[in-house]
Homo-oligomer: A and B are copies of this chain.
């Protein structure tokens, strides 16, 4: 397999944009990416677009708006890991020597649903009984607090950290710091999660360009090497599920660390799937960033801050940037790319050399999560 590089990234600013469709948002990100590096759309040999709710032929609709018309393109769905999955397929095709230049995008317009929890399929027994994502994560939070001795203040610490990071990110849905008091005063969504412990419903899109080494060299833009690209699906079981342990994240991370020849201690930046504040604690532990049951103490001790041991979601994470589900994976790769190329501006983690991007989702039908994608990128070859 050949080395594969991320050589460019663009994000259509995240936020409430009810008058911009998913194709329009995605087309904006893809078009801005190509214009930003002066690359002809005809140089793009294939496209993979991740989306959950974007509808039929979204890949065509997105890419044609960027002038890409005719090559193999695919709309890929894997719940919140949709554009992580799209990136994985693009990576695989380039690594295999099939293509040299592939555009990956993710796009979603969630305001089309109005507001509230994501619409899930009532064919799932648990959904049919009223289960929604905030409730699923609230149960996980209750159990985590019970098991570890953490308190709601520990959840709030995640929010305060990530909203503080997001305040520096011009691409974030929320660009405003919040205090612990603000979070505590926000309305209760699903006990113990308050509004500020939950990511918002957001419209947005992101795009990254993946290329072979030769193509990257000719293009001449700053580049980062994809050291690992892993997708896994959830293991179905009807017996006891430990809500405090996202087994799929642990399993995917192990495969990614093996592929990269790197471990948690090597990471400078982690863009992690903090759809809810509790998710950062659970996934940080499953990624090996803290021992089990201790991530809340790592947050409280500043270890996950931008200037801490490992910067977790220096972009602000989903809690700040928002979570246009199908776009999130690509946007994390974009944030990692900017960090590793020293282009992260006010968000820059000094000297960042290794970044991990993690998305996971779709977790309420007999599996911990439906899908998980993990990418590990390095600044140097």
Hey, which bits of chain A sit against chain B, CB under 8 A?
Answer: 1, 21, 23, 52, 55-61, 63-64, 69-79, 85, 88-89, 92-93, 95-98, 120-121, 123, 230-237, 251, 362, 365-367, 370-371
Tally of this chain's copies: 2
Q: Pick the contact of A71 from B79, B92, B232 — CB < 8 Å?
A: B232
Given contacts A56-B52, A96-B96, contact A89 B74 (CB under 8 A): yes
Contact A72 B234 (CB under 8 A): no
Contact B72 A232 (CB under 8 A): yes
Q: Pick the contact of A60 from B57, B69, B73, B371 — CB < 8 Å?
A: B371
Given contacts A56-B77, A89-B89, contact A70 B233 (CB under 8 A): yes
Contact A69 B121 (CB under 8 A): no
Interface centre among A60, A98, A231, A236 (most CB of B within 10 A): A60
* Residues of the B chain whose Cβ atoms lie less than 8 Å from the Cβ of A74: 76-78, 85, 89, 231
Q: Cα distance A21–B124 when bound, in Å?
A: 11
Contact A75 B77 (CB under 8 A): yes
* Residues of the B chain whose Cβ atoms lie less than 8 Å from the Cβ of A55: 121, 123
Contact B78 A75 (CB under 8 A): yes
* Residues of the B chain whose Cβ atoms lie less than 8 Å from the Cβ of A367: 60, 64, 69
Contact A88 B72 (CB under 8 A): yes
Q: Cα distance A362–B237 when bound, in Å?
A: 37
Q: A55-B121, A70-B251 are in contact. List 10 more A-B contacts (CB 8 A).
A: A52-B56, A59-B78, A60-B234, A70-B233, A72-B233, A73-B78, A73-B233, A75-B76, A77-B77, A95-B96
Q: Cα distance A58–B1 when bound, in Å?
A: 29
Closest to A46 in B: B231
Q: Pick the contact of A79 from B21, B52, B57 — CB < 8 Å?
A: B57
Contact B123 A21 (CB under 8 A): yes
